[in-house]
Chain A
């Protein structure tokens, strides 16, 4: 591999945001180098694990049903973030989300047709045919065709930043430590969720029990270096997109198949056999991303989802076999829980279930009354053996602590001034928009929209 000394635009990272930026800058006529930390087989960061992106649209399209207005999108976003976001940036993402599928299609990326699909998201989300790795294959193929140079297994070691201007980037590739001097830089290196030490600083010992759902290459080093070089941070180090995953999942890179989607159909208890949250608060795609932090706040960061035979076949199976008990006591023993505690929790819950008409596709009227923590929808008695149990752990998808940016994706300094030639896109700046919660598919939307903006801005800065 030849290592270039200079280029117009250096894009750090190799996921959706990075490639969107690289392709935008290349289409603007700039010479572009992509610096990807992962080897070729694992290229694409967390994007390789994604499935869809959220799009605003005025009417039905080939990939989307109905209509999803800017205001609907914004209110969904605001609700999961408890009212906190950067409205200007959020509205840019939402408005330009309507262009995303056409932009991706230019690079041979395909989408599923609207009427089929596994989840009930075809109004709000366009599903990638073949998932995120297909998207990345499409982008990388286009990048090669357009003459973008991609350096794999290349890490960023340091930035040379003076007065808000980046003069060089020290890289590490093989045994070498070359310095690349680009005219402008796009940082799209994701969050710091694979950096277990950093997670521990934020979460304490609880972090030992976290499972990292995505790439092991998101160490957050460029984020740390840029913050040290005077960039302004945004977001809480503990804020993240985390879901409940099967506790038997691998430490890294388990992706979608370790996720448990049976929570609305049953109850979730902690290691003492106690319920601790409303399993039926809202439709699952708006709610699934709350369960990572909910489980993280329980003793030993451990919980168990319990369903009965009525739920079997109504949720996406996880890759791990359910732990099965012919009775609740038998199941409790197999899960390592106190049989009396589980039996008593289920009995209280069953007694509180009010009659209703069950419908998992809508906010139905099946609920409990009189419990300290009620289940507000889809509450049915857990009484039909066999009983299935799944052990849960927090599965962290990505962290929100990032670089503060403006509407041109320029990285802001601690004094609030934009840096001259440093731009950010994707997870590393998603915290500008996401503060507390997550809605399905918005990570890829932010990455695509801000990737394009960062690429265009970097191209202008490299004139």
Chain B
């Protein structure tokens, strides 16, 4: 459904919710809704990215289907959220190419990158791809300058694309409305005292996922069921991702500043960070995939399935091949493994601005807007 139609439907839902307000202490979505009297695209895009899709408000809803009002806030916001990822992505035509992704397509993309990485070596010196003589030497398989060219280019592009996306999201979600009282935005510049506090509160909320555990009670995971595992698996995934990223950064510093060449020892910092991070990613991504399979379809069902599963699949492939590489790096199989691992990493990075990853940035932005509004009201 196009975003304009989703907005119309969403505005109707929010009008019912705003006249009811029974859910007002579940999470920040409802207080943010109460600060508004009308709901336009900017309001709904903001609320959609503030929502953590837990389901409390659906199970509590006296107007949920089969009631004739048919109110389903988690599904409505999930639709708008996914549409907003494409709406604000840069460049947008690239985002349109990544519409309706699947785990299979994501792994396919990783394979395409692997082949592309392998082609130069295949053409010049195919024996390097099965390295009997260069045990443990990654740059013997893919030369360092080839890696740098690929990854440097992709990384620079991804940073720009992500920044553009967040900028576009932020600018839209904070558009002041023309009629009074409709969309309160905190006055003054973000540098004004208190803005730091708002950002700190938002970052803390994002790092702890405290909105999935209001008043120390876990959110629902089904109509008559509460579980901490969605939050825990997200922590495994997010912190695992951060540790892997830290591992790569440390390795880059080792290489470029100290001139220490990979592979690094088992007790070295990059390997320790990468190992812990990789294990976290595997536990987290598998957990989230399993939980998503058993999740109540009424909470949004297939809307986020492709976008979630494709991202999780690439995280899993990256982590699994990374750990396998660590264990098997003395064997000739290291060559193909490295190629597959690097392909997965490239696919993961290229799709970051067009997939699930942007939720980390948009949700943080929405949490900051919420903290500013809360302070202003």
Contacts and interface: CB of A to CB of B under 8 A. Distances in A.
Nearest to B19: A257
B62 A255 contact: yes
A144 B224 contact: yes
Contact of B37 (A42, A132, A133, A317): A317
A313 interface: yes
Interface in A120-143: 128-134, 137, 140-141
A141 B56 CA distance: 15
Given A110-B217, A313-B181, A130 B60 contact: yes
A137 B55 CA distance: 13
A347 B217 CA distance: 55
Interface string B17-29: 0111111111000
B179 to A, nearest CB: 10
Contacts of A110: 215, 217
Interface residues of A, number: 32
A319 B70 CA distance: 14
A118 interface: yes
Contacts of B181: 313
Contact of A257 (B16, B24, B56): B16
Interface string B43-66: 000000000000011011111001
A51 B59 contact: no
Given A134-B60, A137-B224, A316 B68 contact: no
Interface string A92-126: 00000000000000000010110011100000000
A392 to B, nearest CB: 15
A317 B25 contact: no
Nearest to A39: B66
Contact of A317 (B19, B23, B66, B215): B19
Q: For chain B, what secondary structure do more than half of its interface residues adopt (helix, strand, loop), or is it mixed?
A: loop
A163 interface: no
Interface string B250-263: 00000000000000
A141 B226 CA distance: 11
B37 A313 contact: yes
A404 interface: no
A132 B217 CA distance: 19
A139 B90 CA distance: 49
Contacts of A133: 22, 59-62
B100 interface: no
A317 B18 contact: yes
Query: Which 9 pairs show the lowest CB-CB distances between chains A and B?
Result: A131-B22, A130-B60, A257-B19, A141-B224, A134-B60, A319-B19, A112-B25, A118-B21, A257-B20
25 contacts: A42-B66, A48-B62, A113-B25, A116-B25, A128-B22, A130-B23, A130-B26, A130-B57, A131-B20, A131-B23, A131-B62, A132-B22, A133-B59, A133-B61, A134-B59, A137-B60, A137-B224, A140-B224, A253-B68, A255-B20, A255-B63, A257-B19, A257-B20, A317-B37, A318-B19
Interface of B: 15-16, 18-26, 34, 37, 56-57, 59-63, 66-68, 181, 215, 217, 223-224
Interface of A: 41-42, 48-49, 51, 110, 112-113, 116-118, 128-134, 137, 140-141, 144, 250, 253, 255-257, 313, 316-319
